[in-house]
Amino acid sequence: MLIRRNPLVMLICIELMLNAVNLTLVAFSRQLNNREGQLFALMTMTVAAAEAVVGLAILVDIFRVRDLEDVDDLSELKG
Partner 1 sequence: MQALALAILLFPAAGGIFLGVFNWRGSRLLTAMVGPGVIWAAFVCVLILLGNNVDQDFTYWTWIRAGSFEVPFDILIDHLSLFMCLVITGVGGLIVTYAVGYMEHETDGSYARFFCYMDVFVLAMLILVLAGNTVFLIVGWAGVGLSSYLLIGFYYWRRSAVIAARKAFVMNVIGDIGMILGAFVLFVSYHQVVYLKLFPALPHTPDATTELAAFLLLVGGIAKSAQLPLHTWLPDAMEGPTPVSALIHAATMVTAGVYLVARFHPLYDATIYAHAAVAIIGAVTALFAASIALVQTDIKRVLAYSTMSQIGYMFLAVGIGAYSAGLFHLLSHAFFKALLFMAAGNVIHALHDDQDMRHYGGLWHDMRRSSVTFLAGSLSLAGIIPFVGFFSKENVLGEAFSRGDGLGYAVWFIGFVTAVLTGFYTGRMWWFAFWRPASEERPVAGHLHEAPLVMLVPVAVLAVLTTVGGFLQIKAIGGWALVDDFLKPVLGEERIRTNGLEYLATVLTLVLAALAFAAAYNFWIRGTWSPAGWRARYGWGARVLERKYYFDELYDWAFVRPLDRLAGFTDREDRSLIDTGAVDVGAYTERGAGALSLTQTGFLRSYVLVFVAGVVIAAVLVLWRASS
Residue closer to partner 1 (CB basis): 1 or 54: 1
Cβ neighbour number for residue 52 with a 10 Å cutoff: 15
**CB of 36: closest distance to partner 1 in angstroms?**
18
Q: Among 47, 45, 46, 1, which residue's Cα sits nearest to residue 22?
A: 45
**CB of 51: closest distance to partner 1 in angstroms?**
14
Binding site for partner 1 (CB under 8 A): 1-2, 5, 7, 10, 71-72, 74-79
**CB of 21: closest distance to partner 1 in angstroms?**
11
- Burial class of 31 by CB neighbour count within 10 A (0 to 12, 13 to 18, 19+): exposed
Residue closer to partner 1 (CB basis): 13 or 26: 13
Inter-axis angle of helices 7-32 and 36-65, nearest 10: 180
